[in-house]
Amino acid sequence: MELFDLTGKVAVVTGSSKGIGKAIAERLADHGAKVVISSRKAEPCEQVANAINDKHGDTRAIAIPANIASKEDLQRLVDDTRATWGQIDILVCNAATNPYAGPMSGIADEQFNKILQNNVVSNHWLIQMVAPEMVARNDGAILVISSIGGLRGNAVIGAYNISKAADMQLVRNLAVEYGPHNVRVNCIAPGLIKTDFARYLWETPEILKTVTDPAPLKRIGLPDEIAGSAVYLCSPASSYVTGQTLVVDGGMTIAW
């Protein structure tokens, strides 16, 4: 068995027009997978898919825009992927939302609901749509991108952290449910990664210092540094791993 070989596998990666999702999609494609690039905007998805196809000299990436907040969009993402490539072997629920920074006492109901909808319920929807075919084939890998925020209390991004903790529980539950059918469900919990999503954090020197000072590796991460763990969790190399959350944070959460 080639441990990291994904040849012939079809992977859907939400939020893959930039940042962590793009790096994951690129690396899955490097390892042989056909990848679906998806986000709300069509053009950036097309650009990422074209660059992957140009690099490999074949058509192993397609773009299917979808807003994870819309069940109809997610169903179309699944249907169009199946119409093109027949099946989905790997699902990466990466896209997420954080429209609020501040104490829980100040969050509006709409903001809290949006966070829970996009970061938890939408993952559940997409998995609900894709898991049955994986169960039927007795083969599949599902990956949810959580956050180390889900392991910590925080007075500023508390609602987001609740959603990311829920993702960790979601994969534990689904790992139990789907394990007998050889469908594995895991999370990655990144630390601070240099993407647009976290730009405010790493562009504010005081915040950057509080993150990097205690971290053993003394720096924040790059999107591609999440991609290796994603390839691992989606490939035969992790065939006995399920229900887990792999922390990829430069050691930040283990340091005193």
Ligand X SMILES: NC(=O)c1ccc[n+]([C@@H]2O[C@H](COP(=O)([O-])OP(=O)(O)OC[C@H]3O[C@@H](n4cnc5c(N)ncnc54)[C@H](OP(=O)(O)O)[C@@H]3O)[C@@H](O)[C@H]2O)c1
Footprint of ligand X on this chain (CB under 6 A)? Answer: 14-21, 39-41, 44, 67-69, 94-97, 118, 145, 147, 190, 192-193, 195-198
> Which two tokens mark 207?
């915040």
Q: The tokens 């679906």 sit on which residue?
A: 36
Catalytic member of 160, 178, 200, 232? 160
Rounded to the nearest 10 degrees, how much is the dihedral formed by the CA atoms of 125, 181, 27, 146?
50
Q: Is 160 a catalytic residue?
A: yes
In sequence order, the β-bridge partners of residue 212 are none
Q: Would you say 169 or 182 has its CB closer to ligand X?
A: 169
**Shortest gap between Cβ of 192 and ligand X (angstroms)?**
5
Nearest to 111 by CA among 162, 175, 51: 162
**Shortest gap between Cβ of 190 and ligand X (angstroms)?**
4
CB-nearest residue to ligand X: 19
Q: Please name the residues in contact with 219: beta carbons below 8 A apart, sequence gap of 6 or more.
A: 212, 250
Q: Would you say 221 or 243 has its CB closer to ligand X?
A: 221
* Residues 142 and 167 sit within 8 Å (Cβ to Cβ): no
Q: Would you say 2 or 43 has its CB closer to ligand X?
A: 43
**Shortest gap between Cβ of 20 and ligand X (angstroms)?**
3
Q: Which residues are catalytic?
A: 160
